[in-house]
Amino acid sequence: MDAVVFFVIAITISSILFFYVDDEVFRSAERSDDDQSNPGAILKVFLHSSLGADIVLQLNGEVRIPGSSEIVECISTELEALALGQNLTDFSPLNDRLIIVLRSICSPVMEPFLMAINARGEKSDEMFSIPRAITESGTQLASSTRLPSSHSSYLLILVLVPSSNANPAS
């Protein structure tokens, strides 16, 4: 009987030890220091980089945006135009380009979603969400920043969803 009790205690002790090691390994995996999976770092370099390719928009007339334009300026202009009643579809070429740039910067195992919110006082209106609204559940990483123009009430939110969780575009 004493031997059986000793055996049961031994099994319990080793189970606790293995559980502790598993937990440590899991936490060390979480410590990865990779800017490509860090939405704050991605958003920072994304906003200050150039579009990279010329874009032509059909607004009231043809508007050509050079590839050397800074992304933060393009987004500010788009948001001002949307606030004045311009259609979001008019900016599709620009938004497609923004998503291409985001995908090239962030980790290939992550799918980026960019949202712009007009936050005035207690009210907040979603201005756009590209490439589409987020419907995925599960682990998501996010970071936000206020557009650096004067009197700006626009908040940009970058959400990274693991590609395995992201549904194909609907």
What is the pairing mode between strands 154-162 and 55-58?
A: unpaired
Amino acid making up residue 97: R
Q: Is 14 in the site for another protein (CB under 8 A)?
A: yes
Report the distance separating Cα 111 and Cα 128, nearest Å: 17
Question: What's the min distance (Å) between Cβ of 3 and another protein?
Answer: 4
Q: Is 20 in the site for another protein (CB under 8 A)?
A: yes
Which residue in the set 56, 58, 84, 105 belongs to the binding site for another protein (CB under 8 A)?
A: 105
Q: Report yes or no: 112 and 159 within 8 Å, Cβ to Cβ.
A: yes
Which residue in the set 87, 104, 165, 167 belongs to the binding site for another protein (CB under 8 A)?
A: 104
Distances (CA, A) of 28 to 31, 39, 82, 140: 5, 20, 44, 19
Give 8 or 59: the residue with its C-beta nearer to another protein.
Answer: 8
104 contact partners, CB below 8 Å, separation of at least 6: none
Question: What's the min distance (Å) between Cβ of 11 and another protein?
Answer: 6
Q: Is 135 in the site for another protein (CB under 8 A)?
A: no
Q: Which residues of 20-55 are buried (b: 16+ CB within 10 A; e: fewer)?
A: eeeeeeeeeeeeeeeeebbbeebbeebbeeebeeeb
Q: Is 145 in the site for another protein (CB under 8 A)?
A: no
Q: Is 21 in the site for another protein (CB under 8 A)?
A: yes
Residues forming the site for another protein (CB under 8 A): 2-4, 6-7, 9-11, 13-14, 17-18, 20-21, 24-25, 28, 31, 33-36, 41-42, 44-46, 48-50, 52-53, 67-68, 70, 101, 104-105
